[in-house]
Amino acid sequence: LRNVGIIGTGHFVPDKVLTNFDLMKMVDTSDEWIRTRTGIKERRIADENTATSDLAVEAAWRALEDAKIEPEEIDMIIVSTVTPDMNFPSTACIVQDKLGAQNAFAFDIEAACSGFIYGLAIAQQFIATGSCNKVLLICADTLSKITNWEDRNTCVLFGDGAGAVVLGAVDEGYGILSTVLGSDGKGGEYLYLPGGGSRMPLSEEVLEKKLNTIQMNGQEVFKFAVKVMASASVEVLEKCGLTPDDVDFLIPHQANIRIIDSAVKRLSLSYDKVYVNLDKYGNMSSASIPVALDEALKEDKIHKGDVVLFVGFGAGLTWGSAVIKW
């Protein structure tokens, strides 16, 4: 089996900034509440003509350029999203067309905020066995389109953006050392979007009750997240024969600074090894981790040979962790 690693990264976020002060004009909230309870100061919002694939394509071009490969060289395109342009075709097929990646097969995955780790694990299998040489994994969401802007419990948390990586075979000893994926469908009711699917097709009632927007039990998601961020981290490190002491850099899902703080404490990591950008972007679902990765690399925070730990959680409920030797 071949070793599989990330050979290029890129990200894209919309220009429009929505600050906590802007939100104070929309719902009964305060900058202080949002900052102290979540760590978020502002987020990016796509305009009404921008769909998820538009963000995805921009991030993809940047990752391809970084990897120094042409679209024709891609064998497989995975898009992780909970806000596809439409139900079908997949956003990945739309992206394939826009990139001119005619040699790739393309499909979407839906593991909510854990999508980056799920995508890494899928890409790894295809490349390790030699079925594919180059895989483009894009995590993109326009959560602003499924947000209830009158619900202060949720609307302060989310933002729009896209992160992309190119995966390929790498030298022995480098690349993805291990991944852990998990799901617990029993927790589905804590974070869901009930309206607009086959169970509850769009209707006037759905629109009136705003059931086509994110419904969340924040405290239950919080409790789950705090537990699983630590346990999934320890589990994947153990699979590699490593401990938290061996971690050179941690890129966690960017949902809430208190969730990250708790994971960092439980793992006894020092804060200079942890990347945080939720203050400027909020929670961008599965795009959060690859956007953070791209920024950390461009800021020269990750070096060859570093052990990088990724961990995330999301609707489903789902979780995932990965260790990559850079």
Provide the binding-site residues for ligand ACO, judged by CB under 6 A.
29, 33-34, 37-38, 112-113, 152-153, 156-157, 191, 216, 218-219, 221-222, 225, 255-256, 283, 285, 314-315
> Least CB distance from residue 260 to ligand ACO, whole Å?
11
Residue 283 known to be catalytic: yes
Nearer to ligand ACO, 156 or 269 (CB): 156
Q: State the nearest-atom distance from the C-beta of 258 to ligand ACO, in Å.
A: 7
Q: With b meaning 16 or more CB within 10 Å and e meaning fewer, what string describes 231-243? A: bbbbbbbeeeebe
Cβ distance to ligand ACO smaller for residue 11 or 62:
11
Of the pair 5, 320, the CB lying nearest ligand ACO is at 320
Closest approach, Cβ 324 to ligand ACO, in A, equals: 22
| Annotated active-site residue in 3, 11, 93, 253 | 253
Q: Give the whole-angstrom CA distance, residue 50 versus residue 71.
A: 22
Query: What is the Cα–Cα distance from 238 to 228, expressed in whole angstroms?
Result: 15
Roughly how many angstroms between the first and final C-alpha of the chain, as a whole number? Answer: 18
Least distance CB 56 / ligand ACO (angstroms): 17
Which residue in the list 3, 20, 113, 139 is annotated as catalytic? 113
Token representation of residue 162: 């896209």
Which one of 20, 148, 212, 283 is the catalytic residue? 283
Cα–Cα dist 172/4, whole Å: 9
Give catalytic status of residue 253 as yes or no.
yes
Q: Which of 202, 111, 223, 120 is nearest to 168 (CA)?
A: 120
CB of 49 to ligand ACO, least distance (A): 24
Which string of b and e fits 275-311 if b means at least 16 CB within 10 Å? Answer: bbbbebbbbbbbbbbbbbbbbbbeeebbeeeebbbbb
Give bridge partners of residue 141 from the DSSP assignment.
161
Would you say 125 or 217 has its CB closer to ligand ACO? 217
Cβ-based nearer residue to ligand ACO, 18 or 132: 18
**Residues belonging to the active site:** 113, 253, 283
